């Protein structure tokens, strides 16, 4: 149906007769001559309908008609070249035209800079994908997969497909469920990740596993979450943390080369504690400075009631002293929306004098040394967070990001990578993000997941100080985004049992939920660990996209709704009956297994 791809034609093709197939991207009429930009997957070429009959037949062509043309490649007349497209030195004088299919008027124009709601774009995603940017993004994602797999195959990793109709994996979110028609009353769950299966593969002696795996979490979809998402999932045996990090860095280096960036290696590491202290977050954006300064000690005798707190910290906004009043008010509003009472601040005048409502509440000596203590210069604004350490730091960390954006401190072309290591094993249940589901019923929940190993310092005594126990767990952070995370796993069943106990998982619950994993751990499990990369987010960063939805071929919009297919949808009474949705769980598992066996 074609001899050439439209985007491949160059001056050297002049004189050749070619056949192209593609879409009418743009049409211009010039005194009886019709110019059409013919687009296919490779690019665009200008085709010209000059002669009387051809021009007449071309008159019916409209945007996005699918056509096949034959004609001669000719050099464009001097002065008519278009240096902005690779085929800009030639055009095709059409001698034959076939309309392969027509197009109804488009619901939105397929321009590069599209000013149309996302819902309508997603409803007609197949039209959206004809635009250059989404098409480029799909191709980039494919290349991202290719490069990662090349690295992994090169190191003899084995790609294994793990089941997606399985038993619930306890990883902190709700499971999606599937009724089992042949075992009425029983349900499969879609996996939140291949975590348990990849550990079983390590017990199975596979040693090096990977999979670009579809994962499922039934969460209350916040802004940018999808019910199904993708991760590059990796697990290795007989390794320590350094091995996992080194491999990960080779993969990331390969990926970022796709966008022309060489990641300096090794990627720096920072402990979780340091990240929280200096940046107020476990995913610090290191493209700019502006660090938090702890001021608890400085204000230990302060007369200012607000600063008589377990933690006081500060962050400096360079040049922020001359913000107008309404902008300072807006900061208060911003802080309140984040659940804080407000955002205390002090303005440092050009002569060094402090102003703002907080200043007068401080003692004279506190005022005197303040600018120096927080590293503020004349003309800066100092924001304070005071209260519980974790919430005050989180507020200051968020303020830091606002400052970075607001003051243009972030080089948008820069890439900054950092490993955040030595993560805590546990967090108090009350600190969990809303919507997450604790695995056990204890006061502590696992920060990563309950199979994460305490590090060498804590493996024998984590119960004595759960708040400070550290894990062999690591996250990789890029420009303030967590793009991957993993851990060395527990491979000793005694340690696993102790962790379950601390999490408030009874032996019975443990047996019920992952008895099969505990059973597997009885048979010589190897030391192992791994990592999972948030594939959608990595694609988003590399594509320079604003939303995860941009890097997914057919994404869901909010609430898990698919504007294209209108899924989810109602089912018929017959489907419901047939699927056994309302059946009581009948036979016991063992029995149904035996029954199944006979069928098989």
Binding residues: 171, 217-219, 226, 448, 482, 489, 534-537
CB of 317 to its own copies, least distance (A): 32
CB of 565 to its own copies, least distance (A): 4
- End-to-end C-alpha distance for the chain, whole angstroms: 48
Binding residues for L-aspartate: 171, 217, 448, 489
CB of 143 to its own copies, least distance (A): 8
The C-alpha atoms of residue 47 and residue 35 are separated, in whole angstroms, by 6
Q: Which residues of 342-351 are buried (b: 16+ CB within 10 A; e: fewer)?
A: ebbbbbbeee
CB of 562 to its own copies, least distance (A): 7
CB of 252 to its own copies, least distance (A): 19
The C-alpha atoms of residue 581 and residue 178 are separated, in whole angstroms, by 9
User: Considering beta carbons, is residue 183 or 445 the nearer one to its own copies?
Assistant: 183
CB of 525 to its own copies, least distance (A): 5
Q: Any idea which residue has 């009959």 for tokens?
A: 53
Helix or strand or coil: residue 406? helix
The C-alpha atoms of residue 152 and residue 206 are separated, in whole angstroms, by 14
User: Considering beta carbons, is residue 46 or 162 the nearer one to its own copies?
Assistant: 162
Pick the closest to residue 308 from 349, 362, 355 (CA basis).
362
User: Considering beta carbons, is residue 467 or 516 the nearer one to its own copies?
Assistant: 516
User: Considering beta carbons, is residue 37 or 291 the nearer one to its own copies?
Assistant: 37
User: Considering beta carbons, is residue 66 or 114 the nearer one to its own copies?
Assistant: 66
Q: Which helix (H) or strand (E) holds 198?
A: helix 195-203
User: Considering beta carbons, is residue 20 or 386 the nearer one to its own copies?
Assistant: 20
What pairs with residue 211 in β-bridges? 233
Q: Which two tokens stand for residue 162?
A: 């793990």
Q: Which two tokens stand for residue 422?
A: 């030595």
Do 4 and 43 meet the contact criterion of CB atoms below 8 Å apart? no
CB of 298 to its own copies, least distance (A): 44
The C-alpha atoms of residue 88 and residue 90 are separated, in whole angstroms, by 6
The backbone torsions φ and ψ at residue 311, rounded to the nearest 5 degrees and listed phi first, read -145, 135
The C-alpha atoms of residue 532 and residue 231 are separated, in whole angstroms, by 6
In angstroms and rounded to an integer, the radius of gyration of the C-alpha atoms of the chain is 30
Pick the closest to residue 534 from 587, 476, 453 (CA basis).
476
User: Considering beta carbons, is residue 319 or 568 the nearer one to its own copies?
Assistant: 568
The backbone torsions φ and ψ at residue 253, rounded to the nearest 5 degrees and listed phi first, read -60, -40
Pick the closest to residue 450 from 38, 169, 235, 159 (CA basis).
169
CB of 479 to its own copies, least distance (A): 23
The C-alpha atoms of residue 446 and residue 265 are separated, in whole angstroms, by 30
Q: Are strands 208-216 and 228-237 parallel, antiparallel or unpaired?
A: antiparallel
CB of 266 to its own copies, least distance (A): 20
Beta carbons within 8 Å of 167's beta carbon, 6+ residues apart: 188, 189, 516
Binding residues for ATP: 217-219, 226, 482, 534-537
User: Considering beta carbons, is residue 296 or 509 the nearer one to its own copies?
Assistant: 509
User: Considering beta carbons, is residue 319 or 593 the nearer one to its own copies?
Assistant: 593
């Amino acid at each position: 149906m074609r001899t050439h791809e439209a985007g491949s034609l160059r001056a050297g093709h002049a004189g050749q007769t070619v056949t192209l197939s593609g879409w009418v991207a743009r049409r211009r009429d010039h005194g009886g001559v019709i110019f059409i930009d013919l687009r296919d997957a490779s690019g665009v070429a200008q085709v010209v309908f000059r002669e009387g009959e051809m021009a007449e037949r071309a008159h019916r062509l409209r945007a996005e008609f699918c056509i096949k043309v034959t004609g001669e490649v000719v050099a464009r007349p001097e002065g008519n070249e278009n240096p902005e497209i690779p085929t800009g030195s030639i055009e095709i004088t059409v001698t034959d035209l076939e309309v392969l299919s027509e197009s109804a008027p488009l619901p939105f124009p397929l321009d590069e800079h599209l000013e149309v709601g996302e819902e309508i774009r997603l409803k007609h995603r197949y039209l959206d994908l004809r635009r250059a940017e989404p098409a480029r993004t799909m191709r980039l994602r494919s290349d991202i997969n290719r490069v990662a797999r090349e690295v992994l195959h090169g190191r003899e990793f084995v790609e294994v497909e793990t089941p997606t109709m399985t038993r619930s994996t306890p990883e902190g979110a709700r499971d999606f469920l599937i009724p089992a028609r042949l075992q009425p009353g029983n349900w499969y769950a879609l996996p939140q990740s291949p975590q348990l299966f990849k550990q079983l593969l390590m017990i199975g002696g596979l040693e090096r596993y990977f999979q670009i795996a579809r994962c499922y979490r039934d969460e209350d979809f916040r802004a940018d979450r999808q019910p199904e998402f993708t991760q590059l999932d990796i697990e290795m045996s007989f390794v320590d943390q350094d091995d996992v990090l080194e491999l990960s860095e080779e993969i990331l280096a390969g990926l970022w080369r796709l966008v022309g960036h060489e990641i300096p290696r090794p990627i720096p590491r920072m402990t979780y504690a340091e990240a929280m202290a200096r940046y107020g977050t476990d995913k610090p954006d290191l493209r700019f400075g502006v660090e938090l300064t702890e001021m608890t000690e400085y204000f230990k005798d302060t007369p200012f009631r607000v600063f008589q707190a377990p933690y006081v910290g500060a962050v400096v906004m360079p040049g922020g002293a001359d913000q107008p009043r309404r902008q300072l008010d807006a900061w208060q509003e911003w802080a309140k929306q984040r659940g804080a009472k407000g955002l205390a601040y002090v303005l440092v005048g050009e002569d060094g004098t402090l102003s703002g409502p907080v200043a007068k509440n401080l003692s004279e000596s506190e005022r005197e040394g303040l600018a120096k203590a927080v590293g503020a210069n004349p003309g800066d604004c100092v924001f304070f967070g005071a209260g519980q350490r974790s919430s005050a730091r989180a507020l200051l960390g968020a303020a830091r990001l606002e400052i970075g954006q607001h003051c243009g401190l972030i080089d948008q072309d820069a890439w900054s990578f950092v490993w955040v290591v030595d993560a805590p094993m546990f967090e108090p249940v009350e600190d969990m993000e809303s919507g997450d589901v604790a695995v056990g019923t204890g006061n502590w929940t696992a920060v990563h997941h309950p199979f994460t190993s305490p590090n060498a310092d804590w493996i024998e005594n984590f119960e004595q100080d759960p708040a400070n126990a550290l894990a062999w767990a690591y996250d990789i952070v890029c420009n303030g985004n967590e793009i991957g995370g993993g851990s060395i796993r527990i491979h000793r069943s005694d340690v696993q049992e102790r962790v379950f106990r601390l999490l408030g998982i009874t032996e019975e619950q443990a047996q019920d939920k992952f008895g099969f994993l505990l059973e597997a751990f009885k048979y010589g499990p190897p030391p192992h660990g791994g990592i999972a990369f948030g594939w959608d987010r990595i694609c988003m960063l590399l594509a320079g996209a604003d939303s995860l939805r941009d890097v997914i071929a057919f994404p869901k919009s909010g609430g898990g709704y698919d504007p294209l297919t209108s899924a989810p949808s109602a089912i018929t009474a017959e489907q419901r009956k047939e699927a056994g949705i309302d059946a009581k769980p009948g036979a016991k598992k063992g029995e149904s297994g035996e029954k199944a066996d006979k069928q098989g």
